[in-house]
Amino acid sequence: MTTIAVLGNGRVGGNLAAALTRAGHEVTAVDRAPGAAADAARTAQIVINATPGAGALERLTALRQELQGKILIDVSNATVDGPDGLPADLIYPGSSLAEQLQEALPETRVVKTLNTMLFPVMTAPAALAQTPTVFLSAADPEAKQVVRGLLSDLGWQQEWITDLGGIETARATEAAILFVPHVIRSSGFTPFAVSITR
C-alpha cells in the first residue's frame, strides 16, 4: 500500500483517487486550497497533480518543501483555452509543464503520464475498442518503475506503457493535447486515447 495525495478533486482527480483507493492505496484527494494541499503532500509518499495545468507551476512550487524527495506524477496539460473552453494553445511552447516543474523542483522526481487521453480512459483503458498507449517521461528510472506499478493498478498492461525517456520528452505528449479539441468537435466526448500501433 502506498500513501498518495491527489491534488485536485474534479473529474480527473476524483476519478484517479477512487480507482487508486479501490486498488488498496491510502489516498487523500484535496482541492486547490494551499493549506489542504500542503498537509496532504507532506504526509504522502507520492503526489499526483490533477489540478489545471495553467496554474500548476505556481501551485506546486509553493509546495517545494512538502514535495522534497517525493515522486510527483503530473497528469495535467498547460494550455490556453479557446472561446469554447477547449485547449487552443500551449502555455510552454518549446518546453512543457513537466520540464518547468522539474526545473523548479530539483529535489522532487517528476513523472509525466496519463495526459494523452480523456479522463475516463486513465482508470479504464481496457474499455476502449482498441489498445491504448500510456507514456512515461521522467529523469529518474526508479520513479518511473514506481509509476509503472500504479499504472498497472489502474488497469494498464505493461505492454501498453511506453517509456519515452527523460522529462524533456513530455513536451511531445503535452503537445498532443492540441489534437483533443478537434477530435471532440468531430466525434464528441467519447473516451479516446493516443495509441501507438505496430
> Is residue 193 assigned to a domain?
no
Cell of 97: 509543464
> Is residue 72 assigned to a domain?
yes
Is the pLDDT at 32 greater than 70? The verdict is no
Question: What pTM value is reported for the model?
Answer: 0.96
Is the pLDDT at 34 greater than 70? The verdict is no
> Is residue 123 assigned to a domain?
yes
> Is residue 195 assigned to a domain?
no
Torsion sign (Cα): 26, 164, 114, 66 = positive
HSE of 87 in the Cβ direction (CA atoms, 13 Å)? 23
- Average confidence score pLDDT of the chain: 95
> Is residue 196 assigned to a domain?
no
CATH number at residue 107: 3.40.50.720
> Is residue 107 assigned to a domain?
yes
- What range does the domain containing 57 cover? 3-187
> Is residue 13 assigned to a domain?
yes
> Is residue 166 assigned to a domain?
yes
Is the pLDDT at 113 greater than 90? The verdict is yes
The total number of structural domains that make up the chain? 1
Helix intervals (H) in the chain:
11-22, 34-43, 56-61, 64-67, 97-104, 119-122, 141-153, 170-175, 180-187
